[in-house]
Structure 1
Amino acid sequence: MGRRHPVAAEGLSLYPSGVPLGSHRIPMRESADLTLDGMAGLVADLLDVLDLDDVTLVHSDWGGGLFLTALGRGPRVARLVILPCEAFENFPPGLPGKMATLAVRIPGGVSLAARQLRIARLRRLPMLWGWMVTRPGDPRLDRRMRAWTEPVLADARIRRDLVKYAKSVLDDADLIRKTEALRGFEGDALVLWSPDNRVMPPEHGPRLAGLLPHGRYVGIRGAAVLSMLDDPEAVAREIGGFLTGSAARRK
């Protein structure tokens, strides 16, 4: 029997904020599958290795974890919390995603982009973090950005991992099909979207909630993509209420 786990947060992102896309400190093996499916498989592998069941999987920014149902790797996941993230054909997401994809194809582009994220004035640009949070120039982000970008700047192997993923081939029809496989997810789901953001289409929130048999949509007004940074109290309140209500229904 696997161990129960209330929340397993999944935070993979092209804007180095998780692993293995630029903020991880131990490089992946050179042969590692870092395609979108391979990355989703890493999430499932982690749950398997930790032997976790009844997991609440939280998605933010990176949307590959939504594909666990399509890949047949989701039995350990009992609930989904979906914050603004890639979905359907929106891979890579919006202008920032397209600029990140361009950066990995230019010699030195990854290091240049990472260094720019450390400068508050440059973070305000739409192709960097200008559309990711409502206050991209906030000096309180400086320490976080330095920590997030240090691995990719310090280790060529980390840069290799990021480039390997960002250069993987994506097919819109396949992405849509794998997202829509969420129709087969039978657990409770909360889609906690930011309808005012400019990177993850506002209509994707209700669309995802409509796919999920037990999905519920809640909008976080005034937040950008990373609503947990823009309005942490609202996000915590909604997730707490969702988990409490889901537990009560299961009794």
Structure 2
Amino acid sequence: MGDVHYIESGVGAPLVLLHAFPLDARMWNPVRTRLEDRTRMIAPDQRGLGESALDGSSAHPLAGGDRAAAPDVELAAADVLELMDRLELPRAVVGGCSMGGYVAMAMLRAAPERVAGLLLVDTKATADGPDQQANRRAVADRAESSGTGDWLAADMLPNLLGDTTRQQRPEVVEQVRGLIEEQPAAGVAWAQRAMAARPDSTGTLRGFGGPALVVVGAEDGITPPQEAAKMADLLPDGELVTLPEVGHLSALEDPDAFTAAIGPWLNRIG
């Protein structure tokens, strides 16, 4: 499918990494340079974000042939599965941060045989409650009506990044601000509605027998360490790593610590 943009580099066993909201595949670039000597890293822009199209037709049967369908993380998962088809990857280790984790869990529901290992980063298995759903839909409506340029980054940065990052890593704050400000408003709205509608994934994780690693920032206030511990407990072969002094975007806030956490796991399952 030509309208999903992705960044690929490295050699070795394939690792598909799915980005957080409201960013794109470039959030993984600091990790890429640290991992590409040991793995083939594929990072797609999820639909409507980065350089991936929001509309157009998808050949993948799970997408129902209509990329303009109602927002749904299952459709985003179908996009990634179709990309794996294009790249002739029968299986890959699949990782996702935040929204990317929701999409990874949707891939697990749709095609568990394609997931050689699962990496869940600063995400959660439970669905949103009514208040969270209402907030997401309000953000989606505002993005559609007035764009995102003058408020989305300002609203989200305090929650996305840990206290340590905001106080000591100004270059990371500006990098994330730039990524948020470049995202298309229509894609932001679609993603928020898709996340609001996502199902509970606790049963999905309980049923996955493959190797799984859960990574969380100690300062993550959106999907805190206790949520990560619950996911690790659900997974039959789950492990948990908590990274100090980082928040919800742990891979971007401290790529050295993140790579040190996932590298041995990748080597073990590779």
The TM tier, using the shorter chain, reads: 0.7 to 0.9
Q: Is the 8 A contact 1:88 1:175 kept in 2?
A: yes
**Do structure 1's residue 29 and structure 2's residue 55 form an aligned pair?**
yes
Structure 1 length-normalised TM = 0.74
178, 182, 207: which is aligned to 1:146? 178
Corresponding position of 1:79: 117
Superimposed CA distance per residue, residues 32-60 of structure 1 (whole angstroms, 9 cap, x where no aligned partner):
14412111221222112212134111111
- d(CA) in 2 for partners of 1:90, 1:61: 13
SS of residue matched to 2:209: coil
SS of alignment partner, residue 161 of structure 2 = coil
Q: Quick one: structure 1 residues 168 and 205, their matched pair in 2 at CA, closer, same or farther if it must change by over 3 Å? A: closer
Letter of the aligned partner of 2:238 in structure 1? Answer: G
Matches within 5 A, 1:100-111: 101-106=137-142, 107-111=145-149
Deviations 1:12-40 (A, max 9, x none): x3323343365422422254144121112
- 1:20 and 2:46 aligned: yes
Measure, in 2, the Cα distance between the counterparts of 1:15 and 1:98.
18
Matched, 1:132 2:165: no
Q: 1:84 to 1:92 in 2, by over 3 A?
A: farther
Residue 187 of structure 1: how far off its partner (Å)? 1.4
Post-superposition shift, 1:160?
A: 2.5
Aligned residue for 2:150, secondary structure, equals helix
Q: State the SS of the aligned residue for 1:198.
A: coil
Does the residue aligned with 2:109 lie in a helix, a strand or coil? coil
Structure-2 residue corresponding to 1:6? 14
- Residue 50 of structure 1 corresponds to 87
Q: Once the 2 structures are TM-superposed, how far is the Cα of residue 189 of structure 1 from its aligned partner?
A: 0.8
- Structure-2 residue corresponding to 1:204: 227
**Distance across 2 between alignment mates of 1:189 and 1:98:** 31
SS in 1 for 2:251: helix
Q: RMSD of aligned C-alpha atoms?
A: 3.0
| Counterpart secondary structure, 2:53 | coil
**Quick one: distance in 2 between partners of 1:6 and 1:169?**
26
Q: State the AA in 2 paired with 1:102.
A: A
The residue identity in structure 2 corresponding to 1:6 is P
1:90-146 deviation per Cα after TM superposition (whole angstroms, max 9, x unaligned): 48997xx975542221220534334xx2xxxx4xxxx41112112247542435533
What are structure 1's unaligned runs of at least 5 residues? 153-158
Q: What's 1:160 paired with?
A: 186
Equivalent residues of 2:23, 2:183 under 8 A apart? no
Question: Residue 213 of structure 1: SS of its match in structure 2?
Answer: coil
SS at match of 1:110: coil
| 1:205-224 correspondence runs (5 A) | 205-224=228-247
2:79 match: secondary structure? helix
Pair 1:194–1:98, CA change in 2 (3 A): farther
2:78 is aligned, of 41, 48, 55, to 41
Q: 1:6 to 1:168 in 2, by over 3 A?
A: closer
The alignment's TM-score, normalised by the length of structure 2, stands at: 0.70
Identity %: 19
Q: Contact between 1:133 and 1:223, CA under 8 Å: does it hold in 2?
A: yes
